[in-house]
Chains A and B, each alone.
Chain A
Amino acid sequence: MRRLVKLAMQKPELASAMLLLVLVVLFQIRSEGVFLSVNNVRGFLGLLPETALVAVGVTLLMISGEFDLSVGSVFALMPMTMAVLVVAGWPFWAAVAVGLLLCAFIGFLNGWLTIRFDIPSFITTLGMLFMARSLTVVISGGFPPRIKPGEVPSWIFVGFVDDGGLIRASVLWFIAIAILISLLLSRTNFGNWVRATGGFLPAAAAMGIPTGKVKIACFMICSVLAGFAGMIQSLRLNSFLPSIGEGMELQAVAAAVIGGTSLAGGVGSIIGGLIGAILIRVIDNGMVMSQIDSNWFKFAIGALTIFAVVGNAWLRRRGRAMKVETDR
């Protein structure tokens, strides 16, 4: 039993999950039942996959020991690229492929520059944040491209899948991708390398793991997920704006950290990042529904981030200090 408690205390995502539960109950009561109403859940589930997919990518990258500040800009660049190509007469799927390839290339560049010149990814991706955002505006030509509803098969990504109009295809895409990345991290040799690379780079390198390639792969996955999420948002709103995703990079980092991912790398889980992302959305939405001045939203996220890191560190220490039967 003590053993179980010890294990649970060392699982940082657990505390976040409990907090999530408490908040949902609290908001449900405070909003007099509106919070979990069909209409609100529909809106909530529309936005969630978009921010959560970005958080999944950022979490994976942070576990490998790196950082990506450019996800918010890539979030805008991918749908803009796609829309501009569609307007220019390209087939939809070709435009999607080009958009995602561009994201992969940006991820590669982020990783390659970081590894090759041995500079902090904070700097590389900060530069990319500005460059990708600027590119988005440049290719839009200042006028957002217009795609008529029904012109592209956007239902594949954002159409409702149930008769009640509650769950969009994007939720399914998001669940499938989250499970895939989670399995990649926990069940494959690649995941083992990611953890080793972020956990203790010299050991990973000494054991022959191609740490540079592992990190670059994580950068690429992170960028592609951010671009994919941006595409979903743009298709859902059917508008292609160069300004979407601003501030998203830091929210994604906050989600990862709230879910127990360490900034230093090596520690964390995809499910943790997801719970963090859901927490942020719940707080955002719940505050509005409970008629709390929504200007407090950022304050709440900030406080939660700090609280989560302090709390997780404390729980981990307590968990580790708990004595279970020893080997001597």
Chain B
Amino acid sequence: MNMPIIETRDLHKWYSGVHALKGVSLKVDSGEAVGLVGDNGAGKSTLINILSGLHHQDSGDILVEGRPADIRSPKDAMRLGIETIYQYNSMVPLMTISRNVFIGREPLKWSIGGIGILDERKMREESVRAIADVDLHLRSPDALVGELSGGQRQGVAIARAMHFKSKVMILDEPTNHLSVKETAKVIGFVKGLKAQGVTSIFISHNMHHVFACCNRIVAMALGKVVLDKPAAETSIEEVSALL
């Protein structure tokens, strides 16, 4: 129980000569909602890209549930139960909700060598259920994602992650460019995750959003963690001063 669900040890990453991560060590316990804050270029996105398999660290280790994990691709991360929701790019706008929910993990009626016929009925039914589970009400799983509002899209992305039983959900700036009402909805989704025992890492520029739904705050600046405290023991002022 006391084993952290994700632990990073001394992660370093260079991007063409820029030292983007300078030894980041972080422990996230199961069921926590961690708010990761920092200015542009602080290394938040780099850290997240490494955890979600888009990039690979130059040195340092990642442990998932105490076991060393070599995350080389988004598939690897998903297999370990780490799902990432990006500000824009987690959905294909021109495809339907049910197809988006199952992108890359389609249920098949039968297959040869990994290619096969989609079980579209199952996709529809399960996506309706998954979306209802996060308290989002959409008229049809056949609607195009492009017709949804920004908040609804994030809701579908979260529903997708929940459906695939992810243990850790990383939300990369999920409230960017959303209206006040939509933002409240997304923050509601994140609170819902905590209630269901899903660990979340919430990345944002906006301190108010982070403090509204996280129980621990991690601040990064210039590639290092500069603050790591329970939300109750710090304040927006203290964190802002460090960035």
B102 vs chain A, min Cβ distance (A): 8
How long is the Cα–Cα vector from A218 to B137 in the complex, in angstroms?
Answer: 37
A327 contacts chain B at the CB level, 8 A cutoff: yes
Binds A, one of B33-41, B72-80, B188-196, B218-226: B72-80
The 4 lowest CB-CB distance pairs between A and B, nearest first, are A202-B89, A208-B75, A189-B106, A199-B92
Considering the complex, give the chain A residue whose CB is closest to the CB of B120: A187
Q: A209–B89 Cα gap in the complex (Å)?
A: 13
CB distance from A220 to the nearest CB of B (A): 14
- Which residues of chain B (73-103) have a CB below 8 Å from chain A? 73-75, 78, 84, 86, 88-95, 99, 102-103
Which residues does A use to contact B, with CB under 8 Å?
A: 187-193, 195-196, 199-200, 202-209, 266-267, 320, 325-327
- Residue of A192, A207, A266, A320 with highest tally of chain B CB at under 10 A: A207
A-B contacts, 24 listed (Cβ < 8 Å): A188-B115, A189-B106, A189-B111, A189-B114, A189-B115, A191-B118, A192-B103, A192-B106, A195-B95, A195-B99, A196-B99, A199-B95, A200-B91, A200-B94, A203-B86, A203-B90, A206-B89, A207-B74, A207-B90, A207-B104, A208-B53, A267-B94, A327-B138, A327-B139
Most buried by B among A188, A190, A200, A320: A200
Contact of B116 among A189, A203, A204, A320 (CB under 8 A): A189
Chain A residues, CB < 8 A from B53: 208
Contacts of B125 in A (CB 8 A): none
Q: Mark B49-76, 1 if CB is under 8 A from A, else 0.
A: 0001110000000000000000001110
Query: How big is chain B's contact interface, by range?
Result: 35 or more
Determine if B212 is an interface residue (Cβ-Cβ < 8 Å).
Answer: no
Instruction: Give the residues in chain B near A205, CB-CB below 8 Å.
Output: 54, 74
Q: Which residues of B130-180 are within 8 A (CB) of A?
A: 137-139, 147
For the complex, what is the distance from the CA of A267 to the CA of B92, rounded to whole Å?
Answer: 11
CB <8 Å contact, A196 and B117 = no
Task: Using A187-B118, A206-B86, A208-B75 as known contacts, say yes or no to A326 and B95 having CB atoms under 8 A apart.
Answer: no
Q: Is the CB of A188 within 8 A of B117?
A: yes
Chain B residues, CB < 8 A from A266: 92, 94-95
Please name all residues of chain B whose beta carbon is closer than 8 Å to the beta carbon of A195 when the two chains form the complex.
Answer: 92, 94-95, 99
* Contact residues in A for B75 (Cβ distance below 8 Å): 208
